[in-house]
Structure 1
Amino acid sequence: MAGKAKGLLERFRDGETVICAEGYLFEFERRGYLQAGGFVPEVVIEQPELVEGLHREFVHAGSDVVLAFTFYAHREKLRLVGREADLERMNRTALRLARKVADDTGTLMAGNICGTNIYDATDPAWEPKARAMFKEQIEWAVEGGADFIYAETFFAYAEASLALECVKQYGKGLPAVVGISKHRGDLLFDGVPLGDALVRLAEAGAAAVGLNCGRGPPTMLPLLEDLKDKIKVPLVAAPVPYRTHPDSPHFMTLKDPDGKVAFPLDLDPWLCSRSQIAAFSRRARALGVRYLGLCCGNASHFTRAMAEALGRQPPASRYTADMTKHAYYGTDPTLIDFNTQEVCKNKF
């Protein structure tokens, strides 16, 4: 077992950048263990060893945080698939797996809450229902030994604010990191400007605030540029690794050449390259981002690219590409010389 991990707030105080690998929903859907649409993390109780394995894979690639896979493991999502009876077991199992890997690897473990999908500005009844959903997940996270709570993917300030309030009320002093997912325009779903929302969340006691999910690096960076001088706590950036653009700033609106919406199954043509992820990571850190990750679409090679862009050498860096030894492009003097460059030029 590794030694005790340095705490989140200590890392922030020391000016460190914390990497948190996300993307469990999309990765398990790609592997055939989770259904797109409902996106309920049923794999947690059906194949827990796979979840533990992906936790270890992300740490191997450079993640400083093991994020408990409780995203969408809330009452509303489980109701949709008829598994509400598995709610507590799913959360406690996810937390146990994450805590085990964090203890083994000397990393931080984060509990995870997210948008409830019941926010309704026209019906105040959403708030007590959402509060109850946050409360039970936060209390399970505390009992499961979480080092902090990551509250993410909120489209309205009101819901993000409620989530933070619940972490403060039920989280037994655990720090809260809060991420908002920004669609088009200047305002969140409840009419609050993004910058105002994040400033208020920081003033309300969030340890770090910023953006996660939805936007890819090209359309998240301009928002980060605008926020860097407004936010007085560490800034969060966890985009999706897709090449969003001004006409489709959010990956849910990307369309193929025939005009068909690509989300969620046909997004592959828009995936970023590793070098694009590395470039984003360097720029984000230069802007003052201190909580950095990748959301839906992430995989371990992207997390490694992010870590290496910050100057780190995680265990997975042992296998970072070394093209000097490539049969055709290599420059290693021990390679058989048969006019390599000419071969490539004429044959490929």
Structure 2
Amino acid sequence: MASSKSKNILERLDAGELIIGDGSYIFTLERRGYVKCGHMTPEASVEYPEAVEALAVEYARAGADITQTFTFYSRDIGTPEDVNLTCREINQASCDIAKKVAKKYDTIVAGGIVYTAVFKQTRNKKDVQDELREGLEVLIENDVDLIIVEYFRNIIEMEWALELALSYGKPVAATMCIGPKGDQDGVSAAECGVRMAKAGAKIVGVNCLFDPFITLETVKIMKDGLKAAGLNPYLMCQPLGYRTPDGGSYGWIELPEYPYAVEPRTVTRFEVAKFAREAYDLGVRVIGGCCGMESVHIRAIAEELAEEHGRLPEASRKSDLDLSVLGRKANLGRREYLGKGTKDFWWNLVPATGRPLSASLHRQENPQTVSKSVLN
């Protein structure tokens, strides 16, 4: 267990700390058989609380400073036909699990709210805030330490959500699910960053939909815009755990492999370590993961940034941190381990798929980050 620290993320960031977030819940639990694909709703907190708790513990052991509540929607929509649970019942169970794990591992309890269905229908501020208020109520009743206003694709809705979230007096982080080309209306990533900061968010950044290196490109654009505007919020990055340079404007969701065949695109632990180093060097101080980022990836972040973080995670007890185990096997003449006892080998490796006819990229009609000419 970590030593007792402030649960106020802003106090810790002000003190110069690096904060490591946790990883994927919905997508990981779907792959483990606790969430139904297509619905992607968190009723597992009620139906299989031990599975949700075990995953939260994995992230804490891997070095996460944050334990997110397994909450998602604000209203009773989207659950499978055989689930007779209200959104409030699910969200309360999710809070109970997060608080239990946070008590044991001394982590920050973070509750998230996401974009609404009503925004697309009406683009009415009152309608949006009324829906979000329902999701926020249970988080506030459970006295979460941090509100994450995340997975918003439109800066207008984000601004309305921030206004409401900040009214509760809690620390608030704001992350949009956008790529380098900006939000769904074409507002630039730079302007999105500036508007989130001007709306009052002390932590701004991106989460989900795009891979680690695309999200870094997006954060860099945000950072440049913030600097030009004379603003200096903390930066946050929680990307996908898949390589998706050929994703469309809605990222990986527009790829044919989504959601059942994305495994070949999974990032390696060493790619995530590279991402973590680049993120830290860019100035990002809240670094975690979203869909596909599992405990091995969070551990890779914590191990790569152990000096900056001030500790190695509990799970590192089972890591070959200096690759000496593989090195000894190589020194014994075992060819299958030749060269594998060095960091350079793993950092420079380009993993193969094992599929002779596999394509490196999908021929996306509307690629977000690569030129169409590359795909023709």
- TM-score of the alignment, normalized to the shorter chain, above 0.5: yes
User: Which residue of structure 2 lines up, in the alignment, with residue 154 of structure 1?
Assistant: 152
Deviations 1:146-194 (A, max 9, x none): 001011111111221121111122x2x10110110115x7341234222
- Per-residue deviation at 1:325? 3.4
Q: Provide the C-alpha distance between the structure 1 equivalents of 2:155 and 2:337, rounded to a whole number of angstroms.
A: 58
- Per-residue deviation at 1:79? 6.4
TM-score by length of 2: 0.80
**Structure 1 residues 228-247: aligned runs within 5 Å:** 228-231=223-226, 232-245=232-245
User: Which residue of structure 2 lines up, in the alignment, with residue 131 of structure 1?
Assistant: 129
Q: Provide the C-alpha distance between the structure 2 equivalents of 1:114 and 1:84, rounded to a whole number of angstroms.
A: 22
User: Is 1:181 matched up with 2:182?
Assistant: no
Aligned pair count? Answer: 327
Aligned AA for 1:186?
K
User: Which residue of structure 1 lines up, in the alignment, with residue 295 of structure 2?
Assistant: 300
Partner of residue 215 from structure 2, selected from 212, 220, 234: 220
Q: Any idea what SS the aligned residue of 1:21 has?
A: coil
Percent identical across equivalent pairs? 32
- Per-residue deviation at 1:142? 1.4
User: Which residue of structure 2 lines up, in the alignment, with residue 55 of structure 1?
Assistant: 56
Q: Provide the C-alpha distance between the structure 1 equivalents of 2:337 and 2:122, rounded to a whole number of angstroms.
A: 68
**Structure 1 residues 73-152: aligned runs within 5 Å:** 73-75=73-75, 77-78=77-78, 81=81, 85-120=85-120, 123-125=122-124, 127-152=125-150
Q: Provide the C-alpha distance between the structure 1 equivalents of 2:292 and 2:314, rounded to a whole number of angstroms.
A: 22
User: Which residue of structure 1 lines up, in the alignment, with residue 367 of structure 2?
Assistant: none
Q: Provide the C-alpha distance between the structure 2 equivalents of 1:70 and 1:8, rounded to a whole number of angstroms.
A: 20
- Per-residue deviation at 1:200? 1.4
User: Which residue of structure 2 lines up, in the alignment, with residue 325 of structure 1?
Assistant: 325
**Structure 1 residues 262-301: aligned runs within 5 Å:** 262-301=257-296
Q: Which range moves more in the overlay, 76-85 or 47-56?
A: 76-85
**Structure 1 residues 29-48: aligned runs within 5 Å:** 29-48=30-49
Q: Any idea what SS the aligned residue of 1:38 has?
A: coil
**Structure 1 residues 164-175: aligned runs within 5 Å:** 164-169=162-167, 171=168, 173-175=169-171
TM-score by length of 1: 0.86
Q: Provide the C-alpha distance between the structure 2 equivalents of 1:327 and 1:79, rounded to a whole number of angstroms.
A: 49
* Matched-pair contact (CA < 8 Å) for 1:78–1:84: no
* Matched-pair contact (CA < 8 Å) for 1:219–1:246: no
RMSD (Å), alpha carbons: 2.5
Deviations 1:92-130 (A, max 9, x none): 11111111111111111011111223322x7345x4333
Aligned AA for 2:141?
E
Q: Any idea what SS the aligned residue of 1:118 has?
A: helix
* Matched-pair contact (CA < 8 Å) for 1:40–1:77: no
Q: Any idea what SS the aligned residue of 1:75 has?
A: coil
- Per-residue deviation at 1:2? 7.0
Q: Any idea what SS the aligned residue of 1:302 has?
A: helix
Q: 1:236 to 1:344 in 2, by over 3 A?
A: closer
Q: Which range moves more in the overlay, 80-89 or 53-62?
A: 80-89
- Per-residue deviation at 1:50? 1.4
Q: Provide the C-alpha distance between the structure 2 equivalents of 1:51 and 1:219, rounded to a whole number of angstroms.
A: 29
* Matched-pair contact (CA < 8 Å) for 2:151–2:176: yes
Q: Provide the C-alpha distance between the structure 2 equivalents of 1:155 and 1:76, rounded to a whole number of angstroms.
A: 21
User: Which residue of structure 2 lines up, in the alignment, with residue 211 of structure 1?
Assistant: 206
Q: Provide the C-alpha distance between the structure 1 equivalents of 2:269 and 2:128, rounded to a whole number of angstroms.
A: 38
Unaligned runs of 5+ in 1: 255-260, 332-336
* Matched-pair contact (CA < 8 Å) for 2:190–2:224: no
Q: Provide the C-alpha distance between the structure 1 equivalents of 2:153 and 2:28, rounded to a whole number of angstroms.
A: 23
Q: Which range moves more in the overlay, 160-169 or 186-195?
A: 186-195
Q: Which range moves more in the overlay, 74-83 or 85-94?
A: 74-83
